[in-house]
Structure 1
Amino acid sequence: MISRRDYLKLCVATGVALGTKSVPSLAANADKQLALITRAIPASGQRLPAVGLGSSATFAEVAGSEDVAAVREVLQALIAHGGRVFDTAPSYGASEAVAGRVAAELGITDQVFWATKLNVAGWGGGRADPAAARAQLETSFQRLGKPVLDLIQVHNLGDVPTQLGLLKELRADGRVRYIGVTTTFPRQYAELEQILAREPVNFIGIDYAIDNRTMEERILPLAQDRGVGVLVYAPFGRTRLWERVRGHAVPEWAAEFDAHSWAQFFLKFVLSHPAVTVATPATSKARHMIDNLGGALGVLPDADMRRRMIALVEDL
């Protein structure tokens, strides 16, 4: 656990803007202990911190520029402040390679829950060459420096019969612990639902945010019923939600569920759905990583509070 006082000190030390009008009210409760929110992987019961780190977008940009200092700082912040899950993909530029190398230099390779992806078919419905897919997988193992990876998913439903078949082989051989599929494209949601209903996947990776709740209708309930873990990408709507709240302060009542920044507000909404295992927003800045991890501290909003949160965002 971390006390609210210590958390506030961390935020100040790293330059995190809490975006709240009510700092004195936080100070009044500064010694309240904030428990780290973890979620169990349905397939095994293994518990993971509910906020991790994605490596698309700005992370991929700094990795591609070989800005190793920024990558080092954000990975250090992930581990030092209670996170574990790092989500990447070969298609995220240099992210996979640079993160694997930096983690090895820091000596944290074994502390990270490595989630990567497979897709040599492309996103247009092409067929995957099995030899090329196997080569991509071996490259991921080499980059991340582990003989057994935690999670590999078929990226954006690329030739699922071929590529998920290869992942099943890896899981049977003990080279990967969990397998799954991902998509953030609405046109693929129906296919995702079909795969989730029939395939023995351990995880799915999806887009879900307070202003993007389509997954609540069928996919998230089905994942719960099937005992499948859920990684949430784009919990901030990429940049969409930041534009929406620009110039607006976080409401004082958000402190009731220990949210003191917009990042924590958005993350706690996502995590309050019981089907969600981990949210993995991408960032290349340590101060944002620490702020994001604050979304996995304390309590989560209940159903009434979720409705209040939605109404607030819809009115902005």
Structure 2
Amino acid sequence: MINRRDFIGLSAGAGATLGLSPRLLAALNSVSLPQGPLLQRAIPSSGEMIPVIGLGSSATFATVARADDASALEAVFQTMADRGARVFDTAPSYGASEQVAGNIVNALGMAKKMFWATKMNVVGRGGGSADPTAARAQIEKSFAIFKQPTIDLMQVHNMGDPATQLPIVREFKKAGRVRYVGITTTFPNQYAQLIDVMRNEPLDFIGVDYAADNRDVEDVILPLAIEKRIAVLAYAPFGRTSLFRRVAGEELPAFAKEFDASTWAQFFLKFTLTHPAITAVTPATSQAKNMLDNIGGGIGRLPTAAHRRQIIAFVDALPPLPGR
């Protein structure tokens, strides 16, 4: 793990990588990136442009955030800053992720540049009604962690009592403290409820799981997002079936060069970005090298409709993992 001495001399912004350790610089320099800037897409409800690749904070990020030394995450955020990525998706339920990330971006002077997306969900066991007082308190705690007067996106997490919690988020938006209102789920058994909310509630964002091996949201949810002008954060772009493990030992298909993908991460991320409903993708990582590789998924050409069909055919033909 990178220790804090690796960050002596760091400052936020372009060029800060000059202060990184030789070991980390060598790792970053080994990443092959396409030429050009990180692509951006518009939030439909406002027209604001945001970068298409961001950072999630579950999984490996959350594991490192809980560790005694979470300083490796500083290099991840610094890599984001240096390459123009600024969308960060977190939640109070991701262990120490929100708190540690808040500490880092404020220490590095990056907080004002981030597009900070967090979540709230105080529903009791069994999916009971949310306590409005507890919901407001949870949002206030996120403000205390982020240390900024405005949070860009507040999302109701995993369809947690939207009848109670969405109006509370709108209160914060009306007061000018939250810029965008959203709702999320990565559970297929909640998709029907999400569709109902999308049809009947004013939303700026949804967050859903979407990958080359996990395309169920293409049927109704993503077309409805386009119709309703709702931005989409794509979660779990590396799949529900361990896509990296399934392609272990496989050569990247030759056609990947046609859309500037030189790694499996770029290959899978560029597939996710082929759908016009997707505004940004937020894969989680705790390593700066992987963050840089992910950013490469949002640079250069994207797959065409023909490439998209090739990717789906390739993924569908992969053998399943043993025992699955």
Partner of 1:26: none
TM-score by length of 2: 0.88
Partner of 1:7: none
Partner of 2:161: 159
Aligned partners of 1:226, 1:232: CA distance in 2, in Å? 17
Q: What's the offset of the Cα at 1:12? A: 6.1
Q: Percent identity?
A: 56
The question of whether the paired residues in 1 share the 8 Å contact of 2:105 and 2:111 is answered with yes
Partner of 1:82: 84
The question of whether the paired residues in 2 share the 8 Å contact of 1:63 and 1:94 is answered with yes
The question of whether the paired residues in 2 share the 8 Å contact of 1:54 and 1:86 is answered with yes
Partner of 1:102: 104
- Match of 2:71, SS? helix
Q: Against the structure 1 CA distance between its residues 153 and 56, is the aligned structure 2 distance closer, same or farther, given a 3 Å change threshold?
A: same
Deviations along 1:159-183, whole A, 9 cap, x unmatched?
Answer: 1111111001111111100011000
Partner of 1:14: 28
Deviations along 1:51-109, whole A, 9 cap, x unmatched?
Answer: 00000011011111142311111111111112010000000000000100111110101
Aligned partners of 1:75, 1:207: CA distance in 2, in Å? 23
| Counterpart amino acid of residue 51 in structure 2 | P
The question of whether the paired residues in 1 share the 8 Å contact of 2:31 and 2:289 is answered with no
Partner of 2:18: none
- 1:281 aligned residue (283, 298, 306): 283
Partner of 2:304: 302
Structure 2: unaligned runs, 5 residues or longer: 1-23, 319-324
- Match of 1:179, SS? strand
- Match of 2:139, SS? helix
- Match of 1:68, SS? coil
Deviations along 1:236-275, whole A, 9 cap, x unmatched?
Answer: 0256111211111211220110111000000000001000
Aligned partners of 1:295, 1:211: CA distance in 2, in Å? 17
- Match of 1:138, SS? helix
Q: What's the offset of the Cα at 1:201? A: 0.6
Q: What's the offset of the Cα at 1:36? A: 2.3
Structure 1 residue 50 corresponds to structure 2 residue 52: yes
The question of whether the paired residues in 2 share the 8 Å contact of 1:235 and 1:279 is answered with yes
Q: Against the structure 1 CA distance between its residues 113 and 239, is the aligned structure 2 distance closer, same or farther, given a 3 Å change threshold?
A: farther
Indicate the larger mover: 64-73 or 301-310.
Answer: 64-73
Q: Against the structure 1 CA distance between its residues 72 and 33, is the aligned structure 2 distance closer, same or farther, given a 3 Å change threshold?
A: closer
The question of whether the paired residues in 1 share the 8 Å contact of 2:209 and 2:237 is answered with yes
Structure 1 residue 185 corresponds to structure 2 residue 199: no
- Match of 1:151, SS? strand
The question of whether the paired residues in 2 share the 8 Å contact of 1:11 and 1:17 is answered with no
Partner of 1:36: 38
- 2:230 aligned residue (228, 231, 238): 228
The alignment of Structure 1 onto Structure 2 pairs a total of residues equal to: 295
Aligned partners of 1:203, 1:72: CA distance in 2, in Å? 27
Structure 1 residue 115 corresponds to structure 2 residue 117: yes
Partner of 1:194: 196
Aligned partners of 1:65, 1:272: CA distance in 2, in Å? 36
Aligned partners of 2:126, 2:273: CA distance in 1, in Å? 31
Indicate the larger mover: 101-110 or 240-249.
Answer: 240-249
Which stretches of structure 1, 4 residues or more, deviate above 6 A after TM superposition?
Answer: none
The question of whether the paired residues in 1 share the 8 Å contact of 2:213 and 2:241 is answered with no
- 1:208 aligned residue (201, 207, 210): 210
- Match of 1:178, SS? strand
| Counterpart amino acid of residue 271 in structure 2 | F
Aligned partners of 2:191, 2:109: CA distance in 1, in Å? 39
Partner of 1:22: none
Structure 1 residue 263 corresponds to structure 2 residue 265: yes
Aligned partners of 1:295, 1:50: CA distance in 2, in Å? 9
Aligned partners of 2:31, 2:229: CA distance in 1, in Å? 37
Aligned partners of 2:241, 2:109: CA distance in 1, in Å? 33
Aligned-residue CA RMSD (Å): 1.7
